[in-house]
Amino acid sequence: MLTCSEHRTRREFVGLAAAALTPAAALVLTRLAPAAPTKADNPPTGVAVLDNCDPIYNGKDAYEDNLSLFDGAGTLRKRITDLNVCEEIGSPHRVAVDSHRRRVWVAETVRARLLAYDFDGGRRVEVPNVKASAVAIDPMTGNAWVTLHESIGQGSVEVFNPDGRSIATHEFRGYDIAHDPKGDAFWLVEQQLLKVSLDGKVLVRKDIAEYCAMSVAVDPRTGGIWAVTCGYDDGTKGRNELLGFDADGKSLVTRAVDKQPIRVSVDPKDGAVWVVNERRGLSWFTAEGKPGDTFKIPALTADVDRRTGHAWAVTESELLKVDRKGEVVARAKHKGKTTQAWIACY
């Protein structure tokens, strides 16, 4: 029998063992510890929207791009107005939500900060000098996997714990990233499609885009993924496509789409796929990739409401909740006109 001084809880044992390992191995071992306690058994639903309402991104003392937190009905709960972002080629997961710990993570563009806020708008994490394009959350540990990406063809992935401490760096890259709850892995897209394990091992690698893939989304029912790729503006390189793959990276669907697809999202209930063609329309497809409908909604980005299957779409002036018939069932105004946006439903 252990004495009191010799006794260790399971969490303490895991922590001590992890400290003796490499960062990548420790990352996996620490997942054996129980998840952090939550404030509620059923976290609230909502939508987080990052906008670019302030067109100026340098030469000012203060900037007014916003992170707006809405409830599931589209009512504004909190707006944080001191951010500084700028336009980019797509709408990756620059905003990610950890519902269990009630955190909203943001990869801020211009100031190059990794930020995390609680659901009441309180800032909980601020990490400087993180030039990132996207964030995905490991829901068990709360670790944030961050794509460090300044230009196509260059980059890496850094992992931060819930307190913002860097715990691992991986030399693969992606413009966008998403967590796969079925395979307990991460998928990344840029010119290549990657599936990586929690210890940083590349499980799938294949070329998918001559120019760049803009967005990736996981079907949690199957572990398969959807991505959208785009061509270069002058038409000399790349194609505008919706691509579907199974959990092993086998190609299932290749479908040409209108210029320029910048965001894809999957309905976890039936696998339907929503695609944003920037300012040109909002489309949905069946889980098999067959066209549903296209609506003349000038969306900048969109994400699926996990409980209804509707799409929350961001336009220049407002946030819209759109059903599969194209009917707007809820709406909310931005603080001002935005030229680009990023979104996460929870």
Question: What is the per-residue pLDDT across 240-272, written as a single tens digit (0 to 9) for each?
Answer: 999 999 999 999 999 999 878 999 999 999 999
Asked whether residue 3 is domain-assigned, the answer is no
Asked whether residue 323 is domain-assigned, the answer is yes
Q: Give pLDDT, residue 233.
A: 73
Asked whether residue 20 is domain-assigned, the answer is yes
Q: pLDDT below 70 — which residues of the chain?
A: 1-41, 234-235
Q: Give pLDDT, residue 207.
A: 98
Asked whether residue 2 is domain-assigned, the answer is no
Instruction: Report the alpha-carbon distance of residue 90 to residue 92 in Å, rounded.
Output: 6
Overall domain count for the chain: 1
Torsion of CA 328, 331, 335, 337, to 10 degrees: 0
Q: Give pLDDT, residue 291.
A: 97
Asked whether residue 307 is domain-assigned, the answer is yes
- CATH number at 181 reads 2.120.10.30
Q: Give pLDDT, residue 236.
A: 78
- Is the separation of the CB atoms in 299 and 322 below 8 Å? no
The pTM of the full predicted model, rounded to 2 decimals, is 0.89
Asked whether residue 4 is domain-assigned, the answer is no
Asked whether residue 180 is domain-assigned, the answer is yes
User: In which domain, by residue range, is 26 found?
Assistant: 10-35+44-345
Q: Give pLDDT, residue 28.
A: 46
